[in-house]
């Protein structure tokens, strides 16, 4: 993709991916789901997960899987509120870009 992905958009994508499952999801799965939308390395994603956890948008817990602990991330109420804000802002932004590029939304 020729467009850069800023921190806020990356946060929004990660929160949206994590919010899909009420029980949360683990890091590798998050990476795979995010990669369906943008090209991102694990070394870029894990600092985002830590920051969202520090900002209380994600909570973390470990669960055993095949004899190993797997770290799960779950969206918090604060994270859900932040995601709603991102969605609202994205709609406004996308509408403005579509207008400038001459695209019409129905």
pLDDT digits (tens, 9 = 90+) for 65-103: 888 888 999 999 999 999 999 999 999 999 999 999 987
Domain for residue 2, yes or no?
A: no
Q: What percent of the chain has pLDDT over 70?
A: 95
Q: Is 4 helix (H, G, I), strand (E, B) or coil?
A: coil
How sure is the predictor about 15, in pLDDT bands with cuts at 50, 70 and 90? very high
**Structural domain contains residue 32:** yes
β-bridge mates for residue 26, sequence order: 72
Q: In this structure, is residue 1 part of a structural domain?
A: no
CATH code of the domain in which 60 resides: 1.10.10.10
Cβ atoms 70, 60 nearer than 8 A: no
- 62 inside domain: yes
For the chain, the domain total comes to: 1
- Give a yes or no: residue 106 inside a domain: no
Statement: residue 104 has pLDDT above 90: no
Range of the domain at 87: 7-101
Give the mean pLDDT of 44-50. Answer: 93
In a domain, 81, yes or no: yes
């Amino acid at each position: 993709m020729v467009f850069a992905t800023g921190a806020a958009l990356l946060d929004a994508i990660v929160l949206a991916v994590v919010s899909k499952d009420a029980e949360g999801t683990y890091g590798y799965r998050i990476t795979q789901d995010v990669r369906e939308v943008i090209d991102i390395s694990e070394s870029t994603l894990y600092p985002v997960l830590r920051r969202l956890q520090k900002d209380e948008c994600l909570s973390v817990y470990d669960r055993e899987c095949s004899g190993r602990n797997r770290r799960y991330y779950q969206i918090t109420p604060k994270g859900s509120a932040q995601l709603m804000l991102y969605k609202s802002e994205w709609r406004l932004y996308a509408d403005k870009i579509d207008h400038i590029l001459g695209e019409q939304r129905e």
